[in-house]
Amino acid sequence: MICAGGTGGHLFPAQALAEELERRGLVVHLATDARGGGLKGRFPAQGIHVLPAATIRSRSPIGLARTAATLAHGLVRAFFLIGRLGPRVVVGFGGYPTLPPLLAARLRRVPSILHEQNAVMGRANRFLSRFADAVAVSFEAMDLVPEAARGKLRHTGIPVRGAVIEAARQVYDVPLASGALRLLVFGGSQGAHAFSQLVPEALAALPETLRRRLSVVQQARPEDVERVRAAYGKAGIPAVVEPFFDDLPRRMAQAHLVISRSGASTVAELTVIGRPAVLVPLPGAIDNDQLMNARALERAHAARLMPQSGLTAEALCAGIGELLGDSGKLAEIAAAARALGRQDAVARLADLVAEMGAGGKTELKERAS
Residue 361 has pLDDT above 70, yes or no: no
Q: What is the pLDDT of residue 62?
A: 87
Average pLDDT (87-105) is 94
State residue 294's pLDDT score.
96
Domain with CATH 3.40.50.2000 in the chain: 2-159+343-357, 165-340
The answer, yes or no, to whether residue 364 has pLDDT greater than 60, is no
pLDDT-derived band of residue 271, with 50, 70 and 90 as boundaries? very high
pTM recorded for the entire structure: 0.89
Stretch 21-43: mean pLDDT, rounded? 89
Is residue 11 predicted with pLDDT exceeding 90? no
Close Cβ partners of 40 (under 8 Å, ≥ 6 residues apart): 48
Residues written for the chain: 369
pLDDT value at residue 60: 83
Taking every pair of Cα atoms in the chain, the longest distance, rounded to a whole number of angstroms, is 65
The span from the CA of 102 to the CA of 106, in Å, is 6
Share above pLDDT 70 across residues of the chain, in percent, rounded to a whole number: 95
Whether the per-residue pLDDT at 52 is higher than 60: the answer is yes
What is the CATH code for 2-159+343-357? 3.40.50.2000
Question: What pLDDT does 30 receive?
Answer: 95
What does the pLDDT read at residue 143? 81
pLDDT at residue 314, as a whole number = 98
* Predicted confidence band of residue 363 (pLDDT cuts 50, 70, 90): very low
**Per-residue pLDDT at 48 exceeds 60:** yes
Instruction: Say if residues 291 and 285 touch (Cβ distance below 8 Å).
Output: yes
Condensed to tens digits (0 to 9), the pLDDT of residues 200-223 reads 999 999 999 999 999 999 999 999
Residue 166 to residues 219, 276, 333, 344: CA-CA distances in angstroms? 22, 18, 21, 13
**Chain segment 284-298, per-residue pLDDT in tens:** 777 789 999 999 999
CA–CA distance, 273 with 142 (Å, rounded to integer): 23
Q: Provide the β-strand partners of residue 183.
A: 216, 257
289-317 mean pLDDT = 96
β-bridge partners, 91:
2, 113
Distances, alpha carbon 251 to alpha carbons 68, 194, 301, in Å: 42, 21, 22
- Whether residue 39 is predicted with pLDDT greater than 90 in this model: the reply is no
C-beta separation of 266 from 260 below 8 A: yes
What pLDDT was estimated at residue 360? 53
- Confidence band of 190 (pLDDT split at 50, 70, 90): low
Q: How far apart are CA 122 and CA 286, in angstroms?
A: 8
Where would I find the beta strands (DSSP E) of the chain? 2-3, 29-32, 47-50, 90-92, 112-116, 134-137, 153-155, 181-186, 214-219, 239-242, 257-260, 277-279, 304-305
The yes-or-no verdict on residue 367 having pLDDT over 60 is: no
Distance CA 278, CA 271 (A): 13
Residue 10's H or E segment, with its range, is helix 8-23
Superfamily of domain covering 165-340? Glycogen Phosphorylase B; (3.40.50.2000)
Q: Among 70-84, 143-157, 245-259, which stretch is predicted with the lowest mean pLDDT?
A: 143-157
| 3-state secondary structure at position 282 | coil
Instruction: Tell me the one-letter amino acid at 306.
Output: M
- The mean predicted confidence, pLDDT, of the chain is 92
- Beta-strand pair 112-116/134-137: parallel
- Exposure b/e, 273-293, CB count within 10 A at least 16 = b: bbbbbbbbbbeebebbbbbbb
Contact 133, 111 (CB under 8 A): yes
